[in-house]
Amino acid sequence: MMITGKFPSLRLRRSRKNDWSRRLVQENNLTPNDFILPIFLIDGKNKKQSIKTMPDVYRYTLDRLSSVVDKAIKKGLPMIALFPYTEKKKKNTLGTEALNEDNLVCKAIQLIKKRYKNEIGIMCDVALDPYTSHGHDGLLKSGYVLNDETNKILINQSLLQAQMGCDVLAPSDMMDGRIGEIRKSLDKNGFKMTQILSYAVKYASNFYGPFRDAVGSKKTLQGNKKNYQMDFRNSNEALREVALDIKEGADMVMVKPGLPYLDIIKLVKQNFKVPVMAYQVSGEYSLLSNGIKKKIVNNEVIIESLIAFKRAGANAIISYYADRLDQILR
């Protein structure tokens, strides 16, 4: 790196002196276009149910969904992401509720598309963990999640969501080869324009706990997900995962979790020049929110953490703060 000039003729603090000059030379900023809002769904009527481990985040019944989507559109968010809380009686070892055209996600997609058309994008998870009685993202045999057998179900889940009107399919399961198979199936069935956002780099992380509470898989999860999600000690492996998924047809890729993996976001962006999304996951969110509530830190840590994503190279961020961004920025 070439250093131009030297002290005292060069004083970098000159541009930091005033608010207007700091704003003038800012390298990164946040707008609503940088965010995707996750929404948790629950069966029933007229419910807005709090999630114990996630302050100010709720599960909504379908009849309360429009108020959340209205707010997201009004705030200028480009996309929402739907996640279901599946009742225990609807779960089984095969996760068959994922293929039920009357499941929560399918009904939510139809409701949103009927009311809002293309005013806002809809992203849906492609994975079985909200629907399996063992809490894993695929079919389980002797404690090991089967790859190719799981892919067959994920293809059908993807097709179903596309048929319902989902704009962006987000396979979050980390099975090998699923992006290519899903892409072929979508193209063959007339969904050439349905996008795939691959969770290409999803680590077996300790930051997912509150999310598993939110979708009801925490208590059911048998063992851990280390035999299919990535080892958090590895970074070169992340590049291999992304390279494979791009070749198989991914339009965008996801790095998850976010803040502890800024180096991975940067590596992916520098090496591939593709749209990179990052997920500020539930553990990150809850740690920040609880820290603010207990006055350990102030509200500005939210902006500081979100700007870090942009600085690392993320195009957009899935964040539970997305619907409160205007208040936070103010």
Residue with tokens 């997305």: 322
| Per-residue confidence (pLDDT) for residue 192, from 0 to 100 | 98
Residues 137-148: pLDDT tens digits? Answer: 999 999 999 999
Kindly state the average pLDDT of the residues 309-326. 95
236 in any annotated domain: yes
Q: What percent of the chain has pLDDT over 70?
A: 100
Of the candidates 20, 132, 33, the residue with the CA atom closest to the CA atom of residue 79: 33
10 in any annotated domain: no
Q: Which helix (H) or strand (E) holds 58?
A: strand 54-60
Does the structure show a pLDDT above 80 at 292? yes
| Per-residue confidence (pLDDT) for residue 124, from 0 to 100 | 98
156 in any annotated domain: yes
What are the φ/ψ torsions at residue 29 (nearest 5 degrees)? -145, 170
Residues 47-102: pLDDT tens digits? Answer: 999 999 999 999 999 999 999 999 999 999 999 999 999 999 999 999 999 999 99
227 in any annotated domain: yes
What are the φ/ψ torsions at residue 59 (nearest 5 degrees)? -100, 140
| 233: containing domain | 32-329
Amino acid at 148: D
List C-alpha distances in Å: 167 to 23, 51, 64: 36, 27, 21
User: Which tops the pLDDT comparison, 264 or 222?
Assistant: 264
Chain center to CA of 283 = 13
Does the structure show a pLDDT above 80 at 3? no
3 in any annotated domain: no
Query: So which residues are the catalytic ones?
Result: 202, 256
CATH number, domain containing residue 141: 3.20.20.70
pLDDT tier for residue 329 given thresholds of 50, 70 and 90? confident
Kindly state the average pLDDT of the residues 265-287. 96
pLDDT tier for residue 25 given thresholds of 50, 70 and 90? very high
19 in any annotated domain: no
pLDDT tier for residue 236 given thresholds of 50, 70 and 90? very high
Number of domains in the chain: 1
Amino acid at 73: I
| Per-residue confidence (pLDDT) for residue 209, from 0 to 100 | 85
* Cβ(145)–Cβ(227) below 8 Å: yes
85 in any annotated domain: yes
Of the candidates 66, 38, 69, 36, the residue with the CA atom closest to the CA atom of residue 51: 38
What are the φ/ψ torsions at residue 71 (nearest 5 degrees)? -65, -40
What are the φ/ψ torsions at residue 229 (nearest 5 degrees)? -85, 160
313 in any annotated domain: yes
